[in-house]
Amino acid sequence: MYDFHGKTSAKERILDVLAIAWQSLTPKEVSQYSNVKNIYQYLPELKKSGSIKTDEENGKLYLHSQLFRMSILMRIIDKITNEGYLKDLIKDKIEMNGKEQV
């Protein structure tokens, strides 16, 4: 589901956001940080492929494994450090000190 080469697709931006957040996020938060307007069109395919899961209690999205998260982070680390990729998300999570919002 994740193409580790070439241009980043909308699905990959969604996965990037979930990898960087290091916690589950609401679909609205994922949409905001990924700049993907209608993430709902991508969620069924991402779920079917096993890339993401939904917390049944709160509806938040998360990646299926920490290994997948690390693979994504290794792919985008240069964009993060050199281009400020997803800097707003990183800044917000640092300010929150990793605590989940209620």
Q: Where are the domains of the chain?
A: 10-91
As to burial, measured by CB atoms within 10 angstroms (0-12 exposed, 13-18 middle, 19+ buried), residue 39 is: buried
CATH topology assigned to domain 10-91: Arc Repressor Mutant, subunit A (1.10.10)
The predicted-structure confidence for 19-69, as pLDDT tens digits, reads as follows 999 889 999 999 999 999 999 999 999 999 999 999 999 999 999 999 999
pTM of the model: 0.83
Distance of CA 65 to the CA centre of its chain: 12
Torsion over CA of 100, 89, 73 and 66, rounded to 10 degrees? 10
